[in-house]
Structure 1
Amino acid sequence: MSIATVSYVLNGKRAVSSQVREQVLAASDALGYRVNSAAQTLRRQSSKTVGLCMTTVSTVYLRELANALDEIATENGYELVQVLTRQDPARELARVNSLLSRQVDGIVLLPSLHPQAALEAISRSSAPSVVVDRIGEDDRFSYVIVNNNKAMQDLVRHLMGTEHRRLLFVAQNLDVVTTRHRLAGLEEQARLAGGALRYQAIQRGDDEVAYATRLRHLLEQPDPPTAIIAGNSSVALSTWKALLAAENQQAVAMATFDDPDWADLCQPAMISVRVPFRTFAEATWELLMQQMEGRFDAARTIQIDAGLVVRM
């Protein structure tokens, strides 16, 4: 089979038989080949672009992380190409394949709950890559994550120091690995407290009305939580609106992972867990550049410590 025939199939410029087309596509898939849509990239062997594949940008954490990565990419002469997956594994795979087809120099992936197909596509392409926010068991990849266990333990110790002994942790999704790490930190502090700390963990889900009703019922029980910990800024906003509607926002303290701008407006003052996004993005970029420049020796995991923002 000639080079020209292969080119016709991959670029769709001329009709070929279905048998030939299937043979070419099967071979290209086996090799992990993706069509390079930029002629300039072919000449330079560098597109000066990096792909950022994220689930969504609906929380402060995700927006700030994307902004920090974009700033660092720009400072280093790269363009950040951002795509969203909406937590859909099929869309995630399609977005990753799209980035690979553009011949991006590297990919930063904030994975869905089931990213196996996307990870396999990246691995087969040999594209430099870093997985962020959610650590996995695939040792082919490097990870940059927040030390969520430590962040939760720091937060719980602070709340206990202000006489809060009944806590409610509200997560967007209890199955996410970051949530499991936070729960492990909460459980450890409860163990160390020797029965002096009680807590409950619930999932907000996507139905805010149902969540507001459930929260109101929890606050009406004989020994209600005295402090609520929200898993992200979206959950925090839903919780705050529910407390305002129930007219009992003064009866419970609030803390949240993420540090939304509107937290300063809350009374009682809201405590936030703030991630140093510049540090997080710099660590991610360095791991990516090590691979892109051939300085990479082995996959590794970097944990970034978050800090507490205590408002008076």
Structure 2
Amino acid sequence: MTTSKGGSGANKVPTIREVAALAGVAPGTVSNVLTGKKLVAEPLKKAVLDAIAKLDYRPNHLASSLRFGKTKSIGVVVPDMTNPFFSGLVRELEGRAAADGFQILLMSSHEEVGEEVERIKALVSRQVDGLIVAPSRDTIASSPQSTISGIPTVLIDRAFGVEEFDTVSADNDAATFTGARHLIDLGHEHITFLATAPGLANIEERVAGYKRAMEEAGLGRSANVIYGGLTIENCRSAIEQELRRADRPTAIFASAYVATLGAAKAIRAVDLAFPKDVSLLGFDDSDWMTVLRPYVSTIEQPLSELSEACWSLLVRRMTKTDVPAEHRRVACALRARESTCRLRAPKGRVSALGSK
């Protein structure tokens, strides 16, 4: 077996100059064919394309883009890639980015501010053209904020109140108001709202929508909010305690994907069933919710609309850096399925909402 020396041999990567030499044109002509910046006569274009095919030439897009100050890449940081909401959002963003000639570089902060800082720094060092960040908290800490400075950035899902950035979020208050009204209209009065982490603006907005619906229905005193945390197991543990009470809720409204899964596990753990013993309404839709019966009712955040709003704001920011920050809200939809049903009140009982 022979080995190559001095950089030559079978494994040598062909250069643009070699393509030009084989085609009998100048290197600039090859560049014009590749970029399309200048028209090239058809005979010359064909000669260049034939040479590219023969040499199996693959242009170095990164080196080329760096020469023009663009990498055609977008950094995306999400709190949890295992969460179907974030993975679905990234999938939508990838499609929109690819359609505009961009690639996505994805990283996870694992719900940790410190990791978020490091992930953003890593993406900035790769000279991304823009950033899309779903923050682990409602503020972008000072370190990443100073690092982000000058890079077009859109914040999504959380940190809606950060004025200096373009932001996209669901209309959380309206979404949970609609969900709570759905349960109330089914005759439920004892509805426990299972929230995740206190202090997150999107979660507090969801709490507010739930409370507003309860107040307007004359059930303000029955409103019950339980905070379970940002993991499935913590949410399960928190709501399981409520389900073991003699006066357990007749319905659970979970505020997020991890809360929905936690609630479902808790209901099974105490040998109850939904919706027979307790109705369950989730937040964020997922394929598993329509795989096993009963299908889970949920509030769906429209990933297509969220990603479209996010991408359009980022493209605008990459084109015009001096425009005022814009904040967009996207409406959610109730997907009423089998896990929520009309409450069967004990005989002779009259609810605070009147006879059902």
TM (norm. structure 2) is 0.71
Asked if the contact 1:58/1:234 (under 8 Å) is kept, the reply is: no
Q: CA deviation at 1:104?
A: 0.7
Count residues with an aligned counterpart. 274
Asked if the contact 1:168/1:228 (under 8 Å) is kept, the reply is: yes
2:179 pairs, out of 155, 165, 180, with 155
1: distance between equivalents of 2:279 and 2:295? 8
Structure 1 stretches lacking a partner, 5+ long: 1-37
Deviations 1:8-38 (A, max 9, x none): xxxxxxxxxxxxxxxxxxxxxxxxxxxxxx5
1:286 aligns with 2:303: no
2: distance between equivalents of 1:206 and 1:292? 33
Residue matched to 2:101 = 77
1:179 pairs, out of 203, 211, 235, with 203
Q: 1:61 to 1:73 in 2, by over 3 A?
A: same
Greater helix share, 1 or 2?
A: 1
1:116 pairs, out of 132, 141, 145, with 141
1:48 aligns with 2:72: yes
Asked if the contact 2:191/2:252 (under 8 Å) is kept, the reply is: yes
1:302 aligns with 2:328: yes
1:302 aligned partner, one-letter code: R
Residue matched to 1:23 = none
**Any residues of structure 2 matched to 1:1-312 within 5 Å, and which?**
39-113=63-137, 114-124=139-149, 126-195=150-219, 198-205=222-229, 212=236, 214-249=238-273, 250-265=276-291, 267-294=293-320, 297-312=323-338
Asked if the contact 1:140/1:299 (under 8 Å) is kept, the reply is: yes
Q: 1:243 to 1:287 in 2, by over 3 A?
A: same
CA-atom RMSD in angstroms: 2.2
1: distance between equivalents of 2:185 and 2:292? 21
Asked if the contact 1:290/1:296 (under 8 Å) is kept, the reply is: no
Asked if the contact 2:152/2:321 (under 8 Å) is kept, the reply is: no
1: distance between equivalents of 2:68 and 2:143? 27
Deviations 1:148-193 (A, max 9, x none): 1000001011111111111111122122111100011112112212
Which has the larger Rg? 2
Higher relative contact order (CA 8 A, sep 6+): 1
Q: CA deviation at 1:229?
A: 1.3
Structure 2 stretches lacking a partner, 5+ long: 1-61, 339-356
Asked if the contact 1:122/1:129 (under 8 Å) is kept, the reply is: no
2: distance between equivalents of 1:129 and 1:149? 25
